[in-house]
Every structure is written in C-alpha cells, then in structure tokens.
Amino acid sequence: MADITDITQAKGGWLAGHELEQVRGQLPVVYIDALPVRVDPMGEVDEVGLLLRGTEEGQLKRSMVSGRVHVGERIRDALLRHLEKDLGPMALPRIPASPAPFTVVEYFPDPDVTGFHDPRQHAVSLAFVVPVDGDCEPSQEALDLSWLSPSEAMSPEITMEMDGGRDKLLQMALAHCGVLP
C-alpha cells in the first residue's frame, strides 16, 4: 500500500475514489461546514443561505456549504474554496485571517452516536458562520440557494428537508449568532 503522503502529494491533495474509500475506512476525515449569512450594518444576522441539492436517491435536501479539507490546505483556504464552489466566485465571503469554528461536529455512520450522520464515514467537521456580501449563484452540485430569515430557516417545512443532523447544526449556528427564534 502506498503511503498516504505520497498519494496526496502526487495528486495535489486529491485522492482517487478507491483511495478515499480506503482512507474513510481507517481514519476520520476533516471537513468544514459553513452557514452563509447576510448581516445588517450592526453585524446581526438578517438571513441565512441554505442550498438545495439532489441526493443519489433522487431526493431534494437542504444543506449548508460543506466539504473536505485537503492535505496541506489551510482551513481558511478550504472555506474559501468550498464557498466559491457552492456560491460562485462573486459571493465575497468575509473570512477572518485566522478563522475559528463556532463548534466541532462529529459525523458517524451510526446516527445514534451523536445525532450527526454520514453513512460513508466518521468525519470531524469544523463549523463556521460566514457573512457574504456579494452576489451568490448556486453552482456545482447545488440546484438552488434560498435566503431565509432565521425563523423561516428553522420552520418545520425547511428543517425536515435537512438530513444528517444538519437541522441541529443550523440551530446551533443560529444560537451562536444570538438569532435563534
């Protein structure tokens, strides 16, 4: 078996599908979750941005910006990469020079362990709330981006469209910002 360092360095931090599956079976994988928000002039959250994605099973689910952190990639760079990938290059996220997550979430294949579920793996995710100032256009795998008030985002109609415990993560993010309805 090739050393993981050799594999990732040879491919610029990317793993082939079979290599990623092998790693997922042996190690927790580091991710970021980011809730894009619009803030008023006083810095209070007015709206939250939730993505609409299609699943492999043909369902539509609401989600936040999320994705893996690559080997050798700074957390700040991973945030910028995933925000641009999901919200487009004109989103203009405001990420501090040294970002700190508001919480750390562990996703497990067994949904009963933490309430955060990823059937593929044990993943550790650093969760952020990120103000964005620019024009956001869903891209890549996102079908739509909805800007909702905190109350709308926490409505049963919206939270039941979220899976893997992301409704709990949304609730935690809104509480962290002091706008939990």
Q: Per residue in 128-147, pLDDT tens? A: 999 999 999 998 778 999 99
Q: Is the separation of the CB atoms in 64 and 87 below 8 Å?
A: no
Q: Could you report the per-residue pLDDT of 26-85, keeping only the tens digit for each?
A: 788 999 999 999 999 999 999 999 999 988 888 999 999 999 999 899 999 999 999 999
Locate all alpha helices (DSSP H) within the chain, ordered by sequence.
4-10, 17-24, 75-87, 150-153, 156-159, 166-177
Half-sphere exposure at residue 117, Cβ-oriented, CA atoms within 13 angstroms:
10
Q: Mean of the pLDDT values across residues 117-138?
A: 95
Mind listing the domains of the chain with CATH numbers?
28-177 (3.90.79.10)
Residue 141's pLDDT is 79
Is the Cβ–Cβ distance between 104 and 124 less than 8 Å?
yes
Residue, of 17 and 170, whose pLDDT is higher:
170
